[in-house]
């Protein structure tokens, strides 16, 4: 089976989750953008989708992102 294009939304979401899952501490938006290589608007949109699905979380006090509780439930 041929590999899906890397521009697919699923591939982009997976890349953001890869970045968040290996981070030692919660990440600032600029760090996620730099680590993924995505433009800011795409990265923001992807993070919004991941947050709405519980796969990522945003800490408003520290303005950082981390993996969400839904991902942790899947890992059990």
Domain positions in the chain are 25-74
Question: What burial letters (b/e) apply to 23-32, b meaning 16+ CB within 10 Å?
Answer: beebbeeebb
Residue 74 reports pLDDT greater than 60: yes
Lowest mean pLDDT: which of 21-30, 38-47, 64-73? 64-73
Query: Regarding predicted confidence, which is higher, 76 or 56?
Result: 56
Region 25-74: CATH code: 1.10.10.10
Q: What percent of the chain has pLDDT over 70?
A: 92
pLDDT at 39: 97
pTM of the model: 0.86
Confidence category of residue 61, pLDDT binned at 50, 70, 90: very high
- How far is the C-alpha of 60 from the C-alpha of 38, rounded, in Å? 22
65 phi, psi to nearest 5 deg: -115, 150
- Summary count for the chain: helices (H), strands (E): 4, 3
């Amino acid at each position: 089976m041929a590999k899906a294009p890397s521009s697919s939304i699923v591939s982009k979401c997976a890349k953001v989750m890869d970045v968040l899952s290996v981070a030692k501490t919660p990440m600032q938006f600029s760090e996620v953008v730099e680590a993924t290589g995505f433009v800011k608007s795409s990265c923001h949109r992807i993070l919004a989708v991941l947050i709405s699905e519980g796969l990522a979380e945003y800490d408003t006090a520290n303005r950082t992102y981390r993996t969400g509780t839904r991902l942790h439930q899947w890992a059990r």
